[in-house]
Amino acid sequence: MKDLHGKALLDDPAQTKSTAFTREERKQYCLRGLLPYDVASINKQKERALENMRRKSSAIEKYIFLNALLDRNQRLFFRTMIDHMEEIMPLVYTPTVGEACKEFAHIFRRPQGLYITPEDRGEIESVLGNWPEPDVRVIVVTDGERVLGLGDLGANGMGISIGKTALYVACAGIHPAHCMPVMLDVGTNNQSLREDPLYLGYPYTRLQGNAYLAMVDEFVEAVQKRFPKALIQFEDFLSPNAFDFLDRYGDKVCCFNDDIQGTAAVTLAGVYASCRITQKQFSDLTIMFLGTGSAAGGTAELMVEAFHAAGLSLQQARERLWFIDRKGLVVSTNENIKPRIKPFAHEHLPCNFVDAIATIKPDVLIGATGVPGTFTESVVRQMAAVNEKPVIIALSNPTSHTECTAEEAYRWSDGRVIFASGSPFEPVQYQDKCFVPGQGNNAYIFPGVGLGVTACSARRITQKMFLAAAENLSMHVTDEEIAKGSVYPSLNRVRKVSCSIAVAVCQVAISDGLAQDKLPEDLDTYVQSLMYDPVY
């Protein structure tokens, strides 16, 4: 900790206690006269912060307020978020972060995170050395090319990296000093951004091809030298790049892609939990995906592992998974099938979406398109026609891009659907029952995985870890939540979930020889002891 006094201490967001400094501390740190008389506890400060936040009339204004709070008092920000997770997470991350990214240059206050541009090539390790914290354990990096369902937002995508690092702290207790948001600002092909006079990013078209790859290579290599204990989370890269980077770096460095693996694990957990409602065996399910991007492809690959673990051969597992694209059912005779989707292109007559549901009779329908309204009334009613309790998971976010709303799903299925989504929805009253739709939020997965990886200093992050995380998450859904139709636990318990997932990840790392640290037998107590709990 830096030895600060006076106004410098009050202005340091990591160390300040603001009006909570005691009389003795005010003397010791030369703060007398710089603060009002009252010594306000962190709980009193939290109530003041909540009162001010709730006065704001829109979600984006609340986001701006919370971001400013993080800028000036880290511990108060995280205490407030942890204690009011269900209220604040949608403001800090999805769905509000989508609007915040679109407006990033216009609501910018103070710099957060680290920006790397093509002008830094050859010196990226030196740029990393400018980061003020020496012991980085978690890096969230994006190039802003595919932000949520919003497309190429260039440097505005930094809002995603900032939001995800905040979730590592709030949801899993990784210390703020160990987290670093990074923007690989390689330009943008979004002309309207480049022409925006307030845009803050590299104002040129995107770096592509070998030059782009060389820059990412240099960044990954520089991280290994400067922060050898850090995991790298790739976030919101274009699907081909996302898969390519996993293939390129996954066996060499400690990294993962949240859009692929985090989404896969949280979706699989929802499917596991849905079996408690449908009374079906997971190994008997047939699953259909709308969309062939990184989220859908990554989820299918993890589900193959899950089916295989449940006793199916790899070929049998792949045969349980089907894909729909813009042209209809993806079948073996189609041309130009994406390489990651080709194993799931089975022999079948070509047909449209609704007819595919009628003939294949999937138990579960998963949407990952980024296109709103693609789960039409005909689609939902057809799922209800072939299932007593259809499972529909609309992953796309922000809310404006979801495949269907919760209310539509319950109404069109006559209240029989088991619905979950990537964005949050309010409870839905249908006839005489109140349904609480689950939110398949990646915040249930990646913070706990990160905590587990850092707790044991895992060399690599593997599919087995995400499979263990999915199984673990599904077990945290209570019978009461199941009775309300929810396949995910309350976000208010996310820190408990993250601790449990971290223990499971450590166990996988130990059994597979990937843990570099020798850990105590009582993993639960050990992991809990590592979790940052913001107090004064």
| Enzyme catalytic residues | 93, 164
DSSP symbol at 331 = B
Gap between the Cα atoms of 154 and 101, Å rounded: 9
- Please, are residues 226 and 157 in contact by the beta-carbon 8 Å criterion? no
Query: Residues with Cβ < 8 Å from 457, sequence gap 6 or more?
Result: 229, 515, 516, 517
Neighbours of 350 (CB within 10 A): 13
Gap between the Cα atoms of 26 and 20, Å rounded: 10
Gap between the Cα atoms of 108 and 105, Å rounded: 5
Beta-strand relationship, 328-329 and 321-325: antiparallel
The β-bridge partners of 287 are: 321, 364
In single-letter form, the type of residue at position 329 comes to L
Gap between the Cα atoms of 115 and 399, Å rounded: 28
What token pair was written down for 89?
């997470």
DSSP symbol at 205 = P
Distances in whole angstroms, Cα of residue 508 to Cα of each of 72, 512, 524: 39, 6, 14
What token pair was written down for 300?
């299918």
In single-letter form, the type of residue at position 341 comes to I
Gap between the Cα atoms of 281 and 369, Å rounded: 27
Q: Nearest Cα to 233, choosing from 251, 220, 215?
A: 220
Gap between the Cα atoms of 43 and 48, Å rounded: 9
65, containing H or E segment: helix 59-72
Gap between the Cα atoms of 69 and 463, Å rounded: 37
Distances in whole angstroms, Cα of residue 482 to Cα of each of 140, 187, 192, 412: 33, 46, 46, 21
Number of H helices, E strands in the chain: 24, 14
Q: Nearest Cα to 36, choosing from 44, 51, 26?
A: 26
- Please, are residues 443 and 500 in contact by the beta-carbon 8 Å criterion? no
Torsion, CA 463, CA 466, CA 471, CA 476, rounded to 10? 180
Gap between the Cα atoms of 36 and 57, Å rounded: 29
